[in-house]
Structures are given as structure tokens and as C-alpha cells.
Structure 1
Amino acid sequence: MSWLKKFTRNKKREGKDHAVSSDEIVENAEAAGEEEVTTGLSLHPGSRVNDEEKYYYQFLNKELTPLKRNQLSLAGINLEQDEKSGAVAVTAFMRSSLKKPVTLGKTFLLLLSPEGERLARKEFDLAELGELPPESSRPWQFMFEAGTVEKKDMPSEDWQLAFELKPKEVPHRLELDEKWELSLAVEEQEKLASFVKQTEPPKPGEVNFLGLQQSRKEDGSLHVTLLIRNGSQKNIQLEQLPLVIEDAQGDVVAQGGFKLGPLSVSANTSKPWTFIFPAEMVKKTDADFSRWKAYPPKQ
């Protein structure tokens, strides 16, 4: 591999380390443990490395901090940017503290500044590194073409080559307003939390409403309790909410607008809330509530 350069023995690593649990990258892999593992130098079988280069990599590898058992790591060595094209070549150790060989697949890597700002992003096929032996450290060059580089100026040190990790799936959960926590019995809170857990969550990015209970009062008003279900990864603030209540026959039972103050619903949660439709908003007094639904009217 002609990209390997002749470094001086006094040269130090310019980049930082980024270690992750192997189960973040490799399917069916074990999570990281507490045992410390020192990784040994492993050169790709197809590499052309002279004695000086090999000595250099051995020297740098000995300086690396031990990994925890079942970790994968990227340890930055050096970074060079082509002044004409803007492309960036990053040399780093790909390290594995697994007890068995591993071949990695396609994954996105990020080049980060010392402050954590993203400088470049690209998907690499890490299978090109070949099979990584157990407890090994393999030097490799990662090329970020100009189109994948997001910043012009590159730092000379303390940058980081990092795995882009997929956000872990967090179960959709119940969120209670403080007033509800104070007024609702613990047993009822647990039942409601269990109901939310067992109900199919909203689609990613979707906000919808699920009816919990309804009751007509002597004054003719209709009280409905809904779950406001936020399927997005961001908190939402509801200040005004128009609502339609529809019964099993598909008839509009009640319709009106509500000022909520605003009402905050955290990301990936369902929050119960009661809406009171005064008698003048009720359009059908003999509604069939064997099935019913609530939704904002179409604009």
C-alpha cells in the first residue's frame, strides 16, 4: 500500500482516540467489559511496509492507552489536506480488543475538531481493512474526498476520527404533568404507563391523539381524556389545539379549539390531558362511543 509514509521516529500522534463498545458497530457482539486489553500491531497482509515504517508504527502502538474488553477504537495518527482539491487523508489505528477475529462492514466515520465540531463525514467500507485479529491494532488511511469535507481549515492536532453511532432506540414512554402526578394514584399511574408501553407507538416524527375515556356531564358538556403522543425526537409546545371528536358511526360528536398555555410534550412520550367541550360545542348528544377518535380538523 503506497500511501504508507516514512515518518521520523520522533513524530507523535496528532489525533485523539475514539473508543466504542463493539456491540455498537458489530451485530451480535458483546458489550464492553472492564478488563483492560493491550492491542498488538497488525499490518494488512497486502501492505508494503519497510523496517523504518514498521518500527514507527510499533513505537506509536506502544504509546496507545489500553482498551476495555470488547471495544473498537480509532486512534488518530496524522492528517493531511490537499491544498488544491481540499481532500483530507487521515491515518489512524483501527483497534479491536475482541477475543476473536472480526471483519467490519460499511459505516459512517466523522472527522471532528478538538471542540467536537464536524469537519467531514463519509461512509467507508471497513471490510477493506481485512480481518482484524484478536486484540489488534491496524494502521490505515481514510480518504475524505473534497465533497465529504465540510470545513476548509483543518486542525493540526487534537482532532478525532470517530464512528458515527446510530441513536439507540428508546421505548416510547408515559409523561405526566406535575398536576397529574399529584392527583393520580400510583396504581393508576402504573396502569397508564403499562398501557403506553403495550400500545404501538406513533410513527417517527408523528404527533397524534389516542382517546382514553369520555363522559357526558349534567350541564351537557363532554369531557374527553386523550393521550397526546409525540413520536418525534424533539419536544413540542402546544399553545392552541383545535380538536374534533368522532364516534363509531363516523359522526362529529364535538368540535372546538383549546388554549393550552403552552402544553409541553417531551420527545418520544405520551402525555394524558383532559379537554372539556362545553354544551355549545357538542353536536351529537346520542353518540356511539363503542369506538371513537380525536384529531385536529383538516385545514
Structure 2
Amino acid sequence: MLPFFKKNDGEKPKLEGAESAVSSEDILSEEVMEASDETDVETELSLHPAWTLTKEDIYSFQFLNNECPPLKPNQLSLSGINIIQDGDDYRVTAFVRNSLEKAISLGDTTLVLLNENDKVLGRRVFQLAELGEIPARSSRPWNFYFTKKDLLSTNIPAEGWKLAFLLETPVPEKHTLDLEDSWEKALSSANKKQLKKIVEDLGAPKEGEVNFIGLQAKVATEGELQITLLIRNGSKKEVQLEELPLVVEDAAGDIVASGGFKLDNLKVKGNTTKPWTFIFPKEQVTKATPDFSRWKAYPPNK
């Protein structure tokens, strides 16, 4: 097991990460108790009963807990302690802090690792029931492990980072267009308006269904096949695509190309459609003169 702290002679431990606090209502999905007249809440150190620590580690956690800023009533917070690399993975140690007047237990929760500019470096669903019951007005240290597949960047700072709760994004009532930032910047106002009209005319997919509709297909001069699909999410939950195998058929029903794509965790928000372009290299194109008067693309065996 990795040590909790890097031992530097003569140096006191310090909080290497920042604080991230949210209303307990956003996480617990229940009404909170009426707040007391206090404006600030100090949290006491609470160690998990199964943890066996040295006196030195207990002192360090106690010292760092005292360094944490006070919370407002009815908040949950993550206060970063340190990050230690273990091969390709990272162990993030942080205080889980509870300013409520009652003990709480948490379930499966999505946490994100952010840099000092709030850029997402990693994301993972954690089983926070393992934390046990967190007493009222307390701070419990815990280890959160981000594996290589959870990380979106290998540039993990030693200080200034933040561990945060990922709050659910409100799902739009009407099925809408969702553009990636790069598309938002690249497309003209006329192109955006046209895409919005296409999405509106198509209507929403069936509830809970994710499907693909071809928007544009062309063979480049180098022999590459470029297709643009509308990825339509009929679920209320965000869909995250890491890898996507695709087969393309033309109007004759012939397979034009097939291959797999790594998407770097492409996210499609609930009840939205996102356009995305896929490029098949020449060696994956199996028909020289496809008929794209009608065509479709789909995951194989679907």
C-alpha cells in the first residue's frame, strides 16, 4: 500500500489540492434540515473504523483537517490532500466533509479531477458507500483511485488541482442540438441554424434509445471516406462513447467501409443530438465507387 504522505524531514504536511463544496441537496436528493443561525461550520476529523494508521499519520490528518476552511451549513465538500502516482494510475487522497447536523451515507457518485483552471483531467464513478457513515460535522479522509482509462490527460499537477462532485446537467424538455466546443467555434451561424432545423425536423428518438443518422458522406481524393453522423441520445442520462465500431452501407446495400474508432470519451447529453465526423483510412474502404444517394452507418451486429 502506498504511504499516505511523502516524508520530508522538517516539513509540515500541507493541503496540495483545493476545496470543492456543494449543497447537500444536490448530492443526497433530499430536503435538508433548516440551517442553524451559524454562518460557519467547523468539521472534526473522522477516521474510517477499518483504517489502521500510525500516530504520525493521524497527526498529519488532524493537522490538515484544521487547515481546511469552515463550511456553510448543509454542505458536502471534497478537500484535496495529495496526489501520488503509482505507475499509470493516480491515488487522490481527499477529505469528504459533511457540515450537516446529521450523519450521512453516500452511494455511487461521479467525481471529476480538475486542474486549477477547472479543466477536466479525469472522471470516474466511485462507490462511496465504502466510506461508511460520515458523522455530522465531520471530515473523513479517503483514497480515490483514477486508472489510466479514467484520465483524459497525463498532465496531472502536483498542486492546485481539485476533486469535485459532478452534478447532473438538467435534461432539456425538448430534444435539442448539442455541439462540441470545437464545432461551435468552427461552424458558421448559418450552418448551426441548418443543423438545428434538421434535428427539430427529425424529432426525438424513442425514449432510452441511442441511434445514428447519416448526415454527409464523401470520398476524399486520397481515398479516405469521411462520414458525418448525428448521434441521437433518447435517454435522459448522458451517454459516454469511448470506442465505436462502424459499418457503412451505400444505396445498393453494399458495405463501403468498416472500422473501429477511439473517441476519447465523447459525451452526448441526455435528450440531445451531437454531430460527429468519422474518417475511414483508404485501406478500410472496400468499394471504389459507392452510391451515396442513400446510405447508412451502424455498429456491426446491431
What band does the TM-score fall into relative to the shorter chain?
A: 0.5 to 0.7
Q: 1:157 to 1:31 in 2, by over 3 A?
A: farther
Residue in 2 that maps onto 1:144: 146
Distance 2:92 2:140 in 1: 14
Residue in 2 that maps onto 1:173: none
Q: Is the aligned partner of 1:130 residue 2:132?
A: yes
Residue in 1 that maps onto 2:121: 119
Superposition deviation, residue 233 in structure 1: 5.7
Percent identity of paired positions between Structure 1 and Structure 2: 41
How many residues are paired up? 186
Contact 2:177 2:195 in 1 (8 A): no
Residue in 1 that maps onto 2:157: 155
- The unaligned stretches of length 5 or more in structure 1 are 171-200, 206-230, 245-298
Structure 2 counterparts to residues 179-194 of structure 1, below 5 A: none
- The unaligned stretches of length 5 or more in structure 2 are 185-191, 202-293, 295-302
Which of 42, 65, 70 aligns to 2:69? It is: 65
Distance 1:111 1:240 in 2: 33
Superposition deviation, residue 6 in structure 1: 6.8
Residue in 2 that maps onto 1:55: 59
Distance 2:93 2:163 in 1: 9
Residue in 2 that maps onto 1:164: 166
Deviations 1:168-188 (A, max 9, x none): 457xxxxxxxxxxxxxxxxxx
Residue in 1 that maps onto 2:193: 237
Distance 1:7 1:139 in 2: 18
Whose radius of gyration is greater, 1 or 2? Answer: 1
Residue in 1 that maps onto 2:107: 105
Distance 1:241 1:106 in 2: 38
CA RMSD between the two structures: 3.0
Q: Is the aligned partner of 1:39 residue 2:75?
A: no
Further displaced range: 73-82 or 33-42: 33-42
Distance 2:112 2:196 in 1: 41
Q: 1:91 to 1:126 in 2, by over 3 A?
A: same
With normalisation by structure 2, the TM-score equals 0.55
Q: 1:56 to 1:239 in 2, by over 3 A?
A: closer
With normalisation by structure 1, the TM-score equals 0.56
Distance 1:125 1:13 in 2: 24
Distance 1:38 1:21 in 2: 16
Letter in 1 for 2:43: T
